[in-house]
Amino acid sequence: MPVNESFDVIVIGAGPSGAVAASILVQKGWKVLVIEKEEFPRFSIGESLLPQCMQFIEEANMLDAVQSQAEALGFQYKDGAAFYRNGEHSNFDFSKKFSSGAGTTFQVKRANFDKLLADRTKELGADVRYKHEVTAVDFNDAAAIVSVKNEAGTSQFLAKFILDASGYGRVLPRLLSLELPSTLSDRRAVFCHLEDGICDESYDRDKILITVHPEMDDIWYWLIPFSDGTVSFGVVGDVKYFDESQTNEAVFDHFLAQEPYLAKLLSKAKKTTPVRSLQGYSSDVTQLYGDRFALLGNAGEFLDPVFSSGVTIAMYSASLAANLLDKQLLGEDVSWQEEYADNLKAGVDVFKHFVMSWYDTELQNVIFFQKDDNDVKAMICSILAGYAWDQENPYVNKTERRSAALVDICQESDENQ
């Protein structure tokens, strides 16, 4: 089959990581093609951004677009995270974090947000093509050959390098047999959007609310408000807790009714989207890069939605890969292992430790112990805000040891009360 066109870089996927990577590269003068299987806008979860994301949005020259259209698109200002468990409240104000950098961000409907970023990528000069599906990838000494199918038929494109930003689609891991089972438990999420009708004056719309199930502490709920009076609401737990014989809507209603605080808060809520479910979303791979490719964000490893780390990891990986690839294309020597894989993994491992200790309840106890402002709370707050690569933070630099010591302190305090 003849090659249709040639590019410096082909990016698979037009979501946040693909848009950020493509925008950085095209502004550095490279010819970039973005291939997206879906038509935008399209529904997606991962709606509560972390402040660390703002650095990469700004780097990609997208910040003005996001800020200027935030109100029109229903983006909700976000300044922290709130937690609730059996009558206990614990709030984290991101402006009081340990790390430098942005302390606020937005909670976004991903359909609008992703389209905004993709549109901006196109404005900056990238070639973005929707409803195009990558069906095969081959490599030779000079280039990567990407086979793409759309309504008009099949085409082939050449590129010096491929960035896989396909998210849950995990295009290159599937095509190149790179997939590994995740070390995390198999969990299910059931979720939808609601017209919330919340009239409780104590409810803070500027924060994501994470609520622990009153009886099973490894089940939790997210409540993500938007500025138009709607929310994203979902429940997450081990697959063993979900009745496969029930519809998604029945499961959703069942779990909402089990948490009295949320049931009261959302007593006037009405569903505005179908109830959806997602299962087996955690993933891992044998390698994050090869001679002519690198995996970004969820295409490489996805952990769990509990701390909203997905988009942050995706954008961090996009920035790392795009800047490293720019050097490589200019003829500089680079180390994808040290400068990309090891760098990215350092922060992912911090998030992973937090996820695992959340489900074994150790981190839950720490979070609900931290009621007053102090240095430790500021350091934990930084990680919750996405600054998982800040080596100045002791809970990043020595995550397991510091976390274990903190758990012991909290337990001793509880025993002495």
Output the CA angle 110-113-116, nearest 5 degrees.
Answer: 145
Query: Closest Cα to residue 112, out of 85, 146, 74?
Result: 74
As a whole number of angstroms, the distance between CA 376 and CA 370 comes to 8
pLDDT at 182: 74
As a whole number of angstroms, the distance between CA 50 and CA 62 comes to 16
Q: Which positions of the chain have pLDDT values less than 50?
A: 417
- Contacts of 143-152 spanning 24+ positions with Cβ under 8 A: 143/6, 143/292, 144/10, 144/292, 144/293, 145/3, 146/10, 146/35, 147/1, 148/35
pLDDT at 132: 97
Q: What is the percent of the chain where pLDDT is above 70?
A: 96
The CATH number for 187-279, chosen from 2.60.120.620, 3.30.9.100, 3.40.50.460, 3.20.20.70, is 3.30.9.100
pLDDT at 104: 98
pLDDT at 408: 74
Element (H, E) at 135: strand 133-139
Contact 167, 13 (CB under 8 A): yes
Per residue in 150-161, pLDDT (tens digit) is: 998 999 999 999
pLDDT at 305: 78
Residue spans of the domains in the chain: they are: 5-76+107-181+282-347, 187-279, 360-416
Q: What mean pLDDT value characterizes the chain?
A: 92
pLDDT at 374: 83
pLDDT at 2: 60
pLDDT at 281: 67
pLDDT at 168: 84
What angle separates helix 343-359 from helix 310-329, to the nearest 10 degrees? 170
Q: Where do we find the tokens 């550095």? A: 28
CATH class of 5-76+107-181+282-347: alpha beta
Structure letter (DSSP) for residue 75? P
